[in-house]
A = this chain, B = another copy of it.
């Protein structure tokens, strides 16, 4: 059995074509998603294994992407242990009583996936069984810094003032917080791998808010802890963030096999900063997908050119699919990447 292209790309092995998937490929841009999901709470949808599996599979059916990613949210583990997190439509995760001091560590007990959120593994198993061996399922977890930012800020933030204040003012509590979140992320990813995921992605979406010094001191160690913990499972890991141009050299030390970058850093520059031991994932600007197809196609070709012919490129957007995206554009993108992407192509 051949290794699926996405998995091979993570290992920087030759592939039959450049693999492609889209962050938030299961989402509001799809009419079948809106029909299946309705207007209910996203955490409720995630806790319904059949529904979560269906939403995970929809974009594979429609687009023919090279991977499914489990329909989930970065706050699932903290929600499941009762920290008090909701996800507000159009806003994001909101925490009623934010984490503010050492005493709040007591609210973060270990996360036991099979007990606290059995639906995650159940959904992953349903998806893996449906997909079969040719299309991999990507396991999903939030990175410690980004999850912590919601717990401390109480919701989405533009300035990250509270979280930065806490990390600088009380590094011991900060490190205890992100270590617990690292263990929760690792436990969740391990349960997804046991259920059939063959790649994992750690979302550190807001890491780019940190200075390089802050990232090194306050985010990288806990991120390393996640990848170290899951390393024995033998599946490749992808580390993703937005606005991480200054951080790529440090992110290369996290233990991931591939690093996702947004559209701000051309992939040849990203490769130079990451070094030769990492695959790259990205990096078409999701906003470009709202432009006419000729523009999308030209920008996608530029991504492929910048990624080069070396092995180890996973085509993706630089951030999630925007809800107003025309699914037809994404279908055409998959076709273009499969036809024209030549990264590490097998000799014919």
A287 touches B213 (CB 8 A): no
Q: How many Å from the CB of A32 to the closest CB on chain B?
A: 22
Contact B211 A161 (CB under 8 A): no
Residues of A209-227 contacting chain B, CB below 8 A? 210-213
Is residue A253 contacting chain B, with contact meaning CB distance below 8 A? no
Per assembly, the copies of the chain total 2
Contacts of A346 in B (CB 8 A): none
Q: Judge whether A169 is part of the interface by a CB distance below 8 angstroms.
A: yes
Report if A160 contacts B (CB, 8 A).
yes
Q: Does A263 sit at the interface, judged by CB under 8 A?
A: yes
A208 contacts B291, CB within 8 Å?
no
B159 near A264 (CB under 8 angstroms)?
Answer: no
A208-B264 contact in complex given A161-B322, A245-B246, A295-B168, C-beta closer than 8 Å: yes
Task: Check if A165 sits within 8 Å of B290, measured CB to CB.
Answer: yes
Q: Are A159 and B322 in contact (CB under 8 A)?
A: yes
Is A286 part of the binding interface, using a Cβ–Cβ cutoff of 8 Å?
yes
List of B residues within 8 angstroms of A288 by Cβ: 164, 168
A285, B211: Cβ atoms under 8 Å?
yes
Contact yes or no, B263 A211, CB < 8 A: yes
Cβ of A243 within 8 Å of any chain B Cβ, yes or no, is yes
Determine whether the beta carbon of A290 is less than 8 Å from that of B243.
no
A164 — which chain B residues lie within 8 A by C-beta?
285, 287-288, 290-291
A299 proximity list for chain B (CB < 8 A): 168
CB nearest neighbor in B for A215: B264
Can you list, as one digit per residue, whether each of A285-309 has a CB less than 8 Å from chain B (1) or not (0)? 1111011100100010010000000
- A265 close to chain B: CB less than 8 A: yes
- Tell me the residues in window 134-165 of chain A with beta carbons closer than 8 Å to chain B beta carbons: 159-162, 164-165
Which one of B161, B287, B292, B322 lies within 8 Å of A290 (CB-CB)? B161
User: Is the C-beta of A48 less than 8 angstroms from some C-beta in chain B?
Assistant: no
> How far does the Cβ of A232 sit from chain B's closest Cβ, in whole Å?
35
Closest residue of chain B to A291 (Cβ to Cβ) is B168
A322 to B164 CA separation, bound complex (whole angstroms)? 13
CA distance A24 to B324 in the complex (A): 35
A287 and B245 within 8 A (CB): no
Residues of A within 8 A of B (CB): 159-162, 164-165, 168-169, 208, 210-213, 243, 245-246, 263-266, 269, 285-288, 290-292, 295, 299, 302, 322, 324
Closest 3 CB pairs of A and B: A161-B287, A164-B287, A168-B291
* Listed A/B pairs (14) with beta-carbon separation below 8 Å: A159-B287, A159-B322, A160-B287, A161-B286, A161-B287, A164-B287, A165-B287, A168-B288, A168-B291, A169-B292, A211-B285, A245-B245, A245-B246, A246-B265
